[in-house]
Structure 1
Amino acid sequence: MADDKRSSTSVTNVEHHGEVHHEKAVVGNTHLVAERGHLATDQFGHSLLEFDPKAEAKLRFKIDLMIVPTVSILYLFCFIDRANIGNAKISGFDVDLNLKGYDYNLILSVFYISYIFFEIPVTVLCKWMGPGWFIPATTLCFGICSIATGFVHTKEAACGVRFLLGLFEAGMMPGIAYYLSRWYRQAELALRLGLFIVMAPMAGAFGGLLASGIMRLDSVGNVTGWRMIFVVEGIITVFLGLISFLLVTDRPATAKWLTAEERDLAIARVKSERIGATEVLDGIDKKKLLRGMLNPVTLGTAFTFLLCNITVQGLAFFAPTIVKTIYPTKSVVQLQLFTVPPYVVGGFFTVLLPYFCTIFNKRQIFVIMSAPLTIIGYILFLSIQTAQVRYGAIFLVASAVYAIGPISNAQVSANVVSDTARSSALGLNVMLGNMGGLISTWSFLPNDAPNYRIGNGINLATNSLMLLVSILLLWWMKRDNKKRDGRNTEEELSGLSLHDIQDLEWKHPAFRWKP
């Protein structure tokens, strides 16, 4: 151990309460801590390591360049392939398939049925396969589904393809969030999640631009009209999926673009935030899976994400339709372009708010702060008929709701301990979020046009409830932390094996909620 010099510029030891002298001798360098079987925290959850800020900054920048752009582009086309049906609708999709009444809403709902049902299983599958294989494979599959949508001729065929699309897209958001948690500290995660989830509003902007450009073409091979949107965008996705097999690095230990010292540092710094962890990537454990899903903060956060996602997914599917009611005389291409600016503004705030989360290492307060903007937006929708005001209200809504995605996933990730619990917790968070997506498909109904009072009223109510739940969750976390301060950690852990301690997860007496 004395001969190992790889950590000499990266890490030094830290003493807490005079209780870790023996451990310090064991975990004296990043190389040893990175190996299985060695702790990086004491029994009170204090890190035994202090990292060189310059070495960390250099490593973080390197990871940012190699990881974030790749997953961001993949998620961009994931969301485009999901939401392009909104652009196709105003380009003749509903007319050619002879959709009547609630047929369009039914096709949207089928996507979410498979998405919700398979959410947790495919997220656990992502852990079992490893993100390096899972993310490229599922990208390839939903790209093929997008292409297939361009060749449907009946409502039933459209439902079948959308069901498969939901299955293959189910693991993307939680899978990428879980993947990033292998690389980043808790305080760093919100911004990186924002940098990939910003692709949701960007998909609205870029998807509108791309759709308007595609619709200017006469044909793509034998494909014409709205079908070109699905085929062209699906082909791009398939290409990106194939390339990503070469670009997505599964975990720090397998990153050939990192030096040996950097790999050790990457593992050790993540491990140093996990109480009782002797390995970063633990084996799948039933008790940990359940603890991740039954975590009170996971449940509370997932419910707020459900409420928020009614608005997020509603914008994705109905923004072109809503814009059409505001500007009924505009051409299809003009309507596609009118959807772009609100998404750009939404994208800006999707990065800005998670950036503040990273600066202050706080998340819940920013969920609370975002809700009033959305509430004001829907009040304007309901109370004012002026086209310019209603169009401006879309900007208010978009500026608030998209940021909840990265913040809620970062909040869930920060409040679990093990890798296994994190996979199930993120799966549950996104699953409940997409229950909100399912509700959104029935929030804007044909008989509610053109002002959509029911749809706007539902969104006003859900965002008001989200504000209330977010405030209550923050109050509960602070209250429970005060209760935990009075617990005797040594006494509660006495007689427990290391395995039993690790299975405690958030029930560990030294664990504290991180708002």
Structure 2
Amino acid sequence: MSDSSELKGRDAPLNHTVVHDETVHSAAEHGHVATDSLGRSLLTFDKAAESRLRLKIDLYIIPTVAILYLFCFIDRANIGNARLAGFEKDLKLVGYDYNTVLSVFYISYIVFEIPSNMACKLIGPGWFIPAISLGFGVMTVAFAFVRTFSAACGVRFLLGLFEAGMLPGIAYYMSRWYRRSELAFRLAMYIVMAPLAGAFGGLLASAILKLDHFGSTKRWEMIFAIEGIVTICLSVIAFFTLTDRPETARWLTAEEKDLAIARVKSERVGQTEVLDKLNTSKTLRGIFSPVTLATSFIFLLDNITVQGLAFFAPTIVRTIYPKSSVVSQQLHTVPPYIVGAFFVVLFNFLSWRMDKRNIFFIMNAPLMMTGYIMFLASTNPNVRYGATFLIASGAFAFGALCNAQVSANVVSDTARSSAIGTNVMLGNIGGLISTWSFLPTDAPNFHIGNGLNLATSSVILILSICLGIWMTADNRRRDKKNIEAELEGLSEKQIEGLDWKHPAFRWRA
């Protein structure tokens, strides 16, 4: 850092006399805390130096994970596009068979969610994320060759197994690099790929379906074959481009590595290291944090809408524009996703600047509610199509906001890993419910599906308001505690294990 030090002591005099590099290195070392007993950072940071480092991390980390997640979501949701192209007819699916194929994916996805994130921590994201990307790329190609209902269920089960670690794994990975306030916007930079996948997936499917064949595959088979091969190629590249953690980043200088570690550590009350070892007590702290459980249930409710749109948007568009060609129907699914993607970035950018998340839960729910009221109140195609824009605008932002919320409200790395895993696990229970929210017997107006989603978005609003009130009240209760007295007699290890139960910890709304 030379003369323009990137870090200054907490108690530095008004002329900001710089602290030597040893102070920075000490804060980054294992065995040293970066906060005092009251949870305040022992260091202050040069904003310009932090800004330069943050931009460098953004440019090296975000593009790779964003592209991988784009094709993760495409590989999951392209079955909706394949349905329009004859998949259901060719496999002779009848009644609820299509819903069952969708549901099987979520069984493995939910079961392996938390174990996958624990494996991600144990193995290291730099290897784990590319490996599971390779796995679901292979499964996507395999789906091009299924010919029976049973085979389709089997491949979708394996697809869910590999994709289970993707969303929580990337969220956990990015929490190693960013401050609490920064995380939501950075998560948005890859989670925005979900609505973009809905848009791009529709465009890509339309383009693919114009081909006569791809090798031995035809029609809907080509969608899976081509998109799966692209995912495989991207995952192989990711083995060489993903960096596990700041200490192993070849593109950071020694001073930048120390700064990257110290600034994350400065927000973790009573922790002596950023990357702790797996610990059962801390794992349970992450899972059973009140904010984790409440936020995860909000994400569950939201995912009923998000995943429902992914799987059934083409079907909904077909009921609105029944006389349009298949390609035209595919293209009509694109604009709502583009608008949804814009609001994902906007809301999470504002969240970063305000260091707030819960307020956006409260703001977004009415957008979803209004959209479903429009669906229920009108059969006019233009009104219903307009409703999909409102729903996408409110629903898609929750992915980044909820993961950032649970990450901000635990302390240790282990708790953060299990908290994010829990959030995504419960979220995908919502995804499982979504596969049964739009039933063929409910077509063409889907009163049951739209009514269910109106109910879930209404509960999101109520629960978000209650969560904000509870966090404020509990913080006031914590303010009255004598921190030194509460910590008296506890060892350093015991203090670390307190996590969000540390008396100096405060909930972050």
> Equivalent residue of 2:300, what SS?
helix
- The corresponding residue for 1:437 is 431
Aligned positions of 1:122-201 closer than 5 A: 122-201=116-195
Q: Deviations over 1:11-51 (max 9, x none)?
A: 011139xxxxxxx9999621111110111000110000011
Paired with 2:20 and 2:32, the residues of 1 have a C-alpha distance of 8
Moved more, 25-34 or 54-63: 25-34
Paired with 2:20 and 2:48, the residues of 1 have a C-alpha distance of 24
Paired with 1:26 and 1:59, the residues of 2 have a C-alpha distance of 19
Q: Deviations over 1:367-389 (max 9, x none)?
A: 11000000000000000111101
Q: CA deviation at 1:156?
A: 0.2
Q: Deviations over 1:171-230 (max 9, x none)?
A: 000000000000000000000001100000000000000000000000001110100000
> Equivalent residue of 1:442, what SS?
coil
| Correspondence 1:98 to 2:92 | yes
| Correspondence 1:408 to 2:389 | no
Aligned positions of 1:114-513 closer than 5 A: 114-513=108-507
Q: Deviations over 1:213-271 (max 9, x none)?
A: 00000000111010000000000000000000001100000000011110110000000
Name which of 73, 78, 83 aligns with 1:84: 78
CA contact (8 A) 1:298 1:429 kept: yes
TM-score of the pair, normalised by structure 2: 0.98
Instruction: Pick closer, same or farther for the CA change 1:269–1:7 going to 2, 3 Å.
Output: farther
Paired with 2:411 and 2:107, the residues of 1 have a C-alpha distance of 30
Paired with 2:5 and 2:86, the residues of 1 have a C-alpha distance of 62
Paired with 2:228 and 2:43, the residues of 1 have a C-alpha distance of 47
Instruction: Report the AA paired with residue 430 of structure 1.
Output: V
Instruction: Report the AA paired with residue 92 of structure 2.
Output: N
CA contact (8 A) 2:69 2:191 kept: yes
> Equivalent residue of 2:112, what SS?
helix
Paired with 1:7 and 1:245, the residues of 2 have a C-alpha distance of 37
Instruction: Pick closer, same or farther for the CA change 1:334–1:25 going to 2, 3 Å.
Output: closer
> Equivalent residue of 1:29, what SS?
helix
- The corresponding residue for 1:10 is 6
CA contact (8 A) 2:5 2:20 kept: no
- The corresponding residue for 2:15 is none
Paired residue total: 504
| Correspondence 1:46 to 2:40 | yes
Q: Deviations over 1:454-513 (max 9, x none)?
A: 000000001101110010000000000000000010001000000000100111001000
% identical equivalent positions:
64
CA contact (8 A) 2:101 2:153 kept: yes
CA contact (8 A) 1:27 1:38 kept: no
CA contact (8 A) 2:198 2:310 kept: yes
Q: CA deviation at 1:285?
A: 0.4
| Correspondence 1:70 to 2:64 | yes
- The corresponding residue for 1:20 is none
Instruction: Report the AA paired with residue 147 of structure 1.
Output: V
CA contact (8 A) 1:144 1:238 kept: yes
CA contact (8 A) 1:8 1:29 kept: no
Instruction: Report the AA paired with residue 118 of structure 1.
Output: F
Paired with 2:167 and 2:433, the residues of 1 have a C-alpha distance of 19
Instruction: Report the AA paired with residue 294 of structure 1.
Output: F
Paired with 2:153 and 2:200, the residues of 1 have a C-alpha distance of 25
Instruction: Report the AA paired with residue 99 of structure 1.
Output: L
CA contact (8 A) 2:7 2:19 kept: no
Instruction: Report the AA paired with residue 295 of structure 2.
Output: T
TM-score of the pair, normalised by structure 1: 0.97
Q: Deviations over 1:423-456 (max 9, x none)?
A: 0000000000000000000000000000000000
Q: Deviations over 1:305-344 (max 9, x none)?
A: 0000000000000000000000000010000100000000
Q: CA deviation at 1:144?
A: 0.2
> Equivalent residue of 2:85, what SS?
helix
Q: CA deviation at 1:9?
A: 1.2
User: Structure 2 regions of 5+ residues with no counterpart?
Assistant: 13-17
| Correspondence 1:35 to 2:29 | yes
Instruction: Report the AA paired with residue 210 of structure 2.
Output: R
Instruction: Report the AA paired with residue 71 of structure 1.
Output: V
CA contact (8 A) 1:12 1:28 kept: no
> Equivalent residue of 1:221, what SS?
coil
CA contact (8 A) 1:47 1:272 kept: yes
- The RMSD of aligned alpha carbons is 1.3
Paired with 1:232 and 1:37, the residues of 2 have a C-alpha distance of 50
Instruction: Pick closer, same or farther for the CA change 1:65–1:229 going to 2, 3 Å.
Output: same
CA contact (8 A) 2:5 2:19 kept: no
Paired with 2:20 and 2:448, the residues of 1 have a C-alpha distance of 63
- The corresponding residue for 1:21 is none
> Equivalent residue of 1:50, what SS?
strand
CA contact (8 A) 1:7 1:261 kept: no
